[in-house]
């Protein structure tokens, strides 16, 4: 009897775990801080491409005597030239692809990818988020595009301060979304985020 109860409890745990995993779509970020560190050494960023969840903090660890920098091409951040041993953290609350380089060394290039996020289910609908912020500062705005089943990319939000939306259309099928963040003072955008797909049934 005890063995039967143990098997039942194990099965229930697996079902609950699977349901929790199915309820969230998109990248939730890593809890391993080492995975969110970019080493700056030998005139290179390692890794040169990093994908993180909304709200993550990425830290550049400078280990190069050439005093490089990490500078966003849209000036979302700029470290200035830093010596060996310095750390430079940057928060990434907003969706988009954020490309950067070292100003003194233009061949040093990298990119931080921040995907959109969706929570919900195909039957009940989805909450789609393009930022983890609790309020939108005047220095940031968002563009979001939608690709409906059988359609083409169209504007879903333009120059918007909205941070998320509840999405439950009448037509069933697979919908895709992508977002970019505007640096308002500089009047420039990040690149589009990777595509987020949600199913409606």
pLDDT-based confidence at residue 35 (cuts at 50, 70, 90) = low
% the chain with pLDDT above 70: 83
Question: Is the confidence at residue 186, as pLDDT, over 80?
Answer: yes
Tell me, which fold does domain 117-200 have in CATH? Immunoglobulin-like (2.60.40)
pLDDT at 8: 33
Domains 33-114 and 117-200 share a fold: yes
- Looking at the structure, give the CATH architecture of the domain made up of residues 33-114: Sandwich (2.60)
The residues spanned by each domain of the chain are: 33-114, 117-200
| Sequence-separated (6 or more) residues with CB below 8 Å from residue 191 | 96, 97, 98, 99, 180
Q: How confident is the model at residue 59 (pLDDT cuts 50, 70, 90)?
A: very high
What's this model's pTM, rounded to 2 decimal places? 0.83
Half-sphere exposure of 111 (CA within 13 A, CB side): 14
CA distance 132 to 95: 9
- Whether 183 has a pLDDT exceeding 50, the answer reads yes
Render pLDDT for 90-121 as a digit per residue (tens, 0 to 9).
Answer: 999 999 999 999 999 999 999 999 999 999 99
């Amino acid at each position: 009897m005890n063995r039967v109860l143990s098997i039942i409890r194990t099965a229930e745990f697996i079902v609950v775990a699977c349901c929790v995993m199915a309820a969230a779509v998109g990248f939730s970020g890593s809890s391993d801080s080492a995975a969110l560190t970019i080493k700056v050494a030998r005139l290179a960023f390692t890794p040169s491409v990093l994908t993180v969840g909304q709200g993550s903090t990425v830290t550049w660890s400078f280990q190069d005597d050439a005093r490089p920098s990490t500078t966003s091409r849209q000036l979302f951040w700029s470290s200035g030239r830093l010596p060996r041993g310095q750390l430079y953290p940057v928060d990434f609350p907003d969706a988009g692809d954020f490309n950067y380089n070292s100003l003194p060394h233009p061949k040093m290039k990298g990119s931080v990818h921040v995907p959109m996020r969706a929570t919900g289910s195909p039957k009940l609908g989805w909450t789609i988020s393009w930022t983890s912020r609790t309020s939108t500062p005047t220095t940031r705005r968002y563009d979001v595009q939608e690709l409906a089943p059988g359609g083409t990319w169209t504007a879903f939000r333009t120059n918007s301060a909205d941070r998320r939306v509840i999405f439950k259309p009448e037509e069933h099928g697979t919908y895709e979304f992508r977002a970019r963040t505007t640096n308002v003072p500089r009047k420039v955008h990040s690149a589009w985020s990777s595509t987020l797909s949600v199913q409606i049934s």
